[in-house]
């Protein structure tokens, strides 16, 4: 699909010099509503495409600046699937080097001394029996030793896959037909359900009779 030029898209939506996502979506909503009111249905797809072009640019811009993007939707009935953008964005992954989570980049970790098992001391046994309690030479009695971090192999950095700011693909949102908001019509369609069939039975009161054979109505009449 050939994308519309950004400048052309801005003209269609009518956004000014300083605009953001919210502003763009707001303007789009108004323009879209006007086209519908004027029954200019053929102009609606280019309006949607123009909005998408601007949104794509704003999303990439935000991603470059802050490493993430957030769509601030001005719609009352924002589409839950695309959060109001009308498209679903996917970014390329890239590998970056970050500080190792285990050693925090220091390359070393503190471990329990393998020689004294953390006690800091050891007993040297004499041949003739008995022995002497000595300070562990490996850890100098601390019970702990510094060793190369196993996670980063002593390098201090690990590779991590993060999302780049390069857009891989955009998928049109089917739920809102790229509008970003869910129209009342699509709500109605969803709520259509079969009417529950119930059999109507007439209410027939059972005649209550007294011992004398009079009905309840007769008793009330007489009293
Ligand atoms: Zn949507
Ligand atoms: Zn490490
Ligand atoms: Zn030790």
76-122 confidence digits (pLDDT tens): 999 999 999 999 999 999 999 999 999 999 999 999 999 999 999 98
- The answer for residues whose C-beta is within 8 angstroms of residue 55's C-beta and 6 or more apart is 21, 24, 25, 71, 85, 86, 87
Cα-to-centroid distance, 112 and ligand 3 (Å): 8
Q: Under DSSP, is residue 126 helix (H, G, I), strand (E, B) or coil?
A: coil
* Residue at 203 is within a domain: no
Phi-psi region of 14 (alpha: psi -120 to 50; beta: other; left: phi over 0): left
Structural domain count of the chain = 1
Distance from residue 102's CA to the centre of ligand 1 (Å): 41
Whether the pLDDT of residue 201 is over 60: the answer is no
**Per-residue confidence (pLDDT) for residue 2, from 0 to 100:** 66
SS3 assignment, position 138: coil
- 207 vs 175, higher pLDDT: 175
CB atoms within 10 A of CB 206: 5
Task: Give 28's pLDDT tier (boundaries 50, 70, 90).
Answer: very high
Q: Is residue 30 part of a domain?
A: yes
- More confident position, 136 or 217: 136
Domain presence at residue 50: yes
| Closest-approaching ligand to the CA atom of 152 | 2
Strands, E, within the chain: which ranges? Answer: 87-99, 108-112, 121-125, 131-135, 144-148, 157-172
Residue 211 placed within a domain = no
pLDDT mean over 22-42:
95
Backbone angles phi, psi at 7, to 5 degrees: -60, -40
d(CA 118, CA 140): 11
Supply the mean pLDDT for the chain: 86
Residue-level pLDDT at 183: 79
Q: Is residue 39 part of a domain?
A: yes
Q: Is residue 130 part of a domain?
A: no
Q: Is residue 9 part of a domain?
A: yes
**Domain range holding 11?**
1-86+173-194
Residue 151 belongs to some domain of the structure: no
* For the CA of 156, the nearest ligand: 2
């Amino acid at each position: 699909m050939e994308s519309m030029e950004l400048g052309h898209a801005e003209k269609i939506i009518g956004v000014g010099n300083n605009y953001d996502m919210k502003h763009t979506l707001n303007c789009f909503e108004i323009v879209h509503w006007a086209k519908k009111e004027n029954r200019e249905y053929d102009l609606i797809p280019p309006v949607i495409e123009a909005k998408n072009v601007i949104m794509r640019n704003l999303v990439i811009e935000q991603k470059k600046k802050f490493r993430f993007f957030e769509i601030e939707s001005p719609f009352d009935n924002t589409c839950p699937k695309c959060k109001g953008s009308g498209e679903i964005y996917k970014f390329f992954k890239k590998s970056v080097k970050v500080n190792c989570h285990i050693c925090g980049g220091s390359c070393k970790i503190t471990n329990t001394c393998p020689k004294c098992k953390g006690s800091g001391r050891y007993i040297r046994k004499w041949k003739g029996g008995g022995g002497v309690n000595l300070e562990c030479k490996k850890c100098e009695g601390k019970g702990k030793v510094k060793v190369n971090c196993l996670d980063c192999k002593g390098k201090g950095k690990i590779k991590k896959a993060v999302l780049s700011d390069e857009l891989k693909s955009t998928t049109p949102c089917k739920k809102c037909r790229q509008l970003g908001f869910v129209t009342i019509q699509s709500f109605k369609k969803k709520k259509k359900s079969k009417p529950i069939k119930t059999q109507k039975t007439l209410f027939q009161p059972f005649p209550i009779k007294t011992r004398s054979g009079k009905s309840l109505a007769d008793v009330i009449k007489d009293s």
